[in-house]
A and B are shown apart, each in its own frame.
Chain A
Amino acid sequence: MEGQPAQSGLAASTSRRQCSLETSLTLALLEAADELHNAKAELSLCLKQGFFNMTKARLAAGGGAHSAGITVLDTREEFHAAVTVELLDKDPDASPARELRALKLPAGHAFQRAGNDDAPHSSGGSVNGSSSLRQRNHAGSDSSTIAEEAAAASAAGKDSMQLFGGLVPPALRKAKRNFSSALDYVFLAAELTQRVALLYRAVLQCVPPPPPAPLPPASAEQQQQPAAAADGEAALRGADGADVGGSAQQTEAESLAAQLEQVELSADSG
């Protein structure tokens, strides 16, 4: 009897902590989802503008589709992308914490940009991007960290605009800027997708399991079994309904939240 007030206090404290953790994780999840939605919208806009500027450049080049300039001859087989991205081969044993550590790279970003940027990065589709033509790294293995790999430059400092000659219309340069910005948004969206997935998993771990569905009326023998299960569950919950049995999940969720907070702090300091 004397232990009851202490036990109820502990349970209340645990319950408040759990609610606070669940709320903060849910809020973080919703914020991340909103950021992801915005990043995808910006990406879509950049791509749309990029293709439209390419159309304008094609018409401005003169001679229409028969021009010896922009679209008639593509030499993709002679050049390689300046930027390549390889996906992480998911380790089935990886815990969310390990995945977070993999994301935690310098400057708080999951990717490192290589090459010479034309201008500092800024949002809203402004000037950005690598202007070098580089050879692609031959990554035969399927497993590597999610990272942007800068390949060795075969012709260092060569502008990709020179693919189209020395006199390219301004619209084509705008298209290049659009696609460079789109690339930034792709990486941002990938980071945010990872974050959303982790937060979602953390939120699920905080949420208590739903109560068992009521069984249909049956024979007396069958009615004895649900009663035994209900007793076991009550034992798990404790006197005031606190979920004592889910403490392991809660601990992991708290650990996850703490590490998420650490990632954010290092991002701010980076």
Chain B
Amino acid sequence: MPYTDPEDPGDIASFNVHNGFPEALVRGFKSGFLTEADYNNLCQCENLDDVRLNLQESDYDQFMSAQTKVTPALVQEKAILKMVKEFNFIKAQAQEPLVTFLEYIQYEYMIENVMLLLKGTLSGRNVEELIDQCHPLGLFAPATMKLIPLFEASPKGYADLYQTVLIDTPIGDYFSRFLEEHKPTGQDAAGAENAGMVRHVLEEVEIEIIKNSLMKLYLEDFYRFCEKIGGDTAEVMCALLGARADRNAINITLNSFGGPLNEPHMRTTDRRRLYPAIGTLYPEATSDFTEVSDEAQLAAVLEPFPVFREIWAVHLNENFGHKSIDDAFYERDVEMLELAFEGQMHFGPFYAYVKLKEQEIRNLVWIGECIVQRQRDEIHKFVPLFSENAPWRVARRGGAR
């Protein structure tokens, strides 16, 4: 019996009624991930043309057949286009609430694109050049895309930008809430000073802070949406988004060392506002982060959390030729995303597919860069996907990590 609630994805009895085909599609695309043998062959390549030839034997097929000169950036661009094509195909077969769920996945890339356009416009870059560099998964209406870089640094220009970004993009709500948090003292957010607020934010607040603030709001909103869906989707997605929020909080703190955000007065104000209100580290650890000013203090705050204690140990050993903290986070993410594929009747596989594809593209770029820069010793330091020899699978089977 078909369910009538559009916000209910269904359970074991009814999920496949409306979501069975898209799930079958995403599991079919899952079989297109590169295997261990593919990675071994790629690591043996002498140049990027060999990489292209080897990729032709995989699901990537002729994705770069028309290109004469191959570079890592080109491999990344074409691989992303392939992934976006598959994503759009899945989305075309989806119904609510899966459509909204897939749109939430795209909002992250929309935020990236809007920040790119704003930053480029403030730097005086060419409009077409900026649009070419936007992530294809985060594109919205072409007219809106072209309007953003064309705004003038005048009151009317900022008012038009406010209208364009806030009203005509799906991430307008996040921007509105960000402006509300950063409005100058004494200004009425609901009044006619929107252009002034936009101007103040763009001229005074650093782009990185705007971007991380929007990402924080996005993660919290996505988290609430998944909680509302409930069931296995909520269980799987809340864990994934919580892990993402934890990683963001740690990276923001670590990356701020040596910069202006690590100043005492900035830690308790601007930096504190970037930490998402979800995840394992919220609220105690993120509250302690406001007092952290160096790596030793950060390590002390992470000590009670076994997962992050292990990841921090990897960071401490980085100078001895081992992997970096980012590699450790990627490995953890891959473990959780692969496990999301293990279950059925929930939306986790759709999110996992996009993120795992991103990791695969990152692996391809890594291998390409190692070949170009002749860093043969480093070429194997990528994160394998669906590999029986992945560190976390070996550990679960009882072997050493």
Contact = CB atoms under 8 A, between A and B. Distances in A.
Given A64-B76, A66-B134, A68-B207, A170 B254 contact: yes
A75 B375 CA distance: 28
Interface in A51-72: 51-52, 55-56, 59-60, 63-69, 72
Nearest to B366: A59
A55 to B, nearest CB: 5
B116 A48 contact: no
Interface stretch (B61-69, B95-103, B256-264): B256-264
Contact of B123 (A51, A69, A75): A75
A165 interface: yes
Interface string B114-156: 0110011001010000000111000000000000000000000
Given A59-B362, A59-B365, A168-B255, A66 B112 contact: yes
A215 interface: no
Contact of B324 (A51, A65, A75, A171): A171
Contacts of A73: 116, 119-120, 123, 125
Given A64-B361, A68-B119, A73-B119, A173 B258 contact: yes
A242 interface: no
B112 A55 contact: no
Contacts of B258: 159, 161, 173
B290 interface: no
B310 interface: no
A162 B259 CA distance: 8
A96 interface: no
Given A75-B123, A167-B212, A167-B261, A66 B256 contact: no
A67 B112 contact: yes
A169 interface: yes
| Interface range for B | 35 or more
B261 A166 contact: yes
Contacts of A171: 324, 326
Contact of B362 (A48, A64, A78): A64
Interface string B72-100: 01001100100000000000000000000
B206 interface: yes
Nearest to B325: A170
B208 A167 contact: yes
Contacts of A51: 373
A72 B133 contact: yes
Contacts of B116: 66-68, 72-73
B252 interface: yes
A166 B253 CA distance: 11
A253 B207 CA distance: 63
A162 B77 CA distance: 27
Contacts of B207: 68, 165
Contact of B208 (A56, A59, A60, A69): A69
Interface in B226-241: none
Interface in B327-373: 358, 361-362, 365-366, 369, 373
Contacts of B134: 66
Contact of B255 (A68, A75, A78, A167): A167
Contacts of B294: none
A171 B327 CA distance: 12
Contacts of A173: 258
Contacts of B375: 48, 52
A66 B117 CA distance: 11
Top 4 closest A-B pairs, CB basis?
Answer: A165-B208, A66-B135, A68-B115, A167-B255
12 contacts: A48-B375, A55-B369, A65-B76, A67-B116, A68-B116, A73-B116, A73-B119, A159-B258, A162-B260, A166-B208, A169-B326, A170-B325
